[in-house]
Structure 1
Amino acid sequence: MRSTKQMSITLPLEMAKAIKDKVASGEYATESEVIRDGLRALLARDKAVNSWLKEQVGPAYDAMKADPARGINTKDLKAKIMQEVGDS
């Protein structure tokens, strides 16, 4: 059984040119390789974002929800940032 599927896509002209330029430069052998590499990068980014949300953002949200006093209001945050910017 075939492990690939042929597809037809429509791209803006500048994206199509960028793909052709990658192949013309020798960086990739085919246009399909450019698309596959781009999709791998997109999937890796999605995985990293999901991991960050699960491992860092979710627990931080849960901690703030459990103890809202841990938070800082926007006025105090702005003052703290301005102080740090002024100190540097």
Structure 2
Amino acid sequence: MVKAKAASGEPAIDNEAIPKGLHVAARNKIVDRWLHKAVLPTYDAIAAGCSNAVPAGEAWARIETHIGRGKRSGG
């Protein structure tokens, strides 16, 4: 596989394939950890009827209001 990627020009040489593969593996591990520690518990809470869940549109409106207040009050 490494030689095939090198032959296709992605990456240009064999020596680039290993670091690129390690980078992808590390990124996948980070995403996997985030999914398990943040996304899944949030999904489970919402599915269980968590009362403090807010629709995305309402959440953005709150954020925009909060940002607007900060600009008007000077900080």
User: TM-score when scaled to structure 2?
Assistant: 0.70
Provide closer, same or farther for how the CA distance between residues 6 and 39 of structure 1 changes in structure 2, counting only shifts above 3 A: closer
TM superposition outliers: structure 1 runs of 4+ over 2 Å? 73-76
Specify the alignment match of 2:3 in structure 1: 7
RMSD: 2.2
Specify the alignment match of 1:83 in structure 2: 65
Higher relative contact order (CA 8 A, sep 6+): 2
**Aligned-residue identity in percent:** 22
Gaps of 5+ in 1: 20-30
Gaps of 5+ in 2: none
**Aligned counterparts, 1:1-88, within 5 A:** 7-9=3-5, 10-11=8-9, 19=12, 31-86=13-68, 87-88=70-71
- Distance in 2 separating the partners of 1:56 and 1:80: 21
Provide closer, same or farther for how the CA distance between residues 6 and 41 of structure 1 changes in structure 2, counting only shifts above 3 A: closer
How many residues align? The count is 68
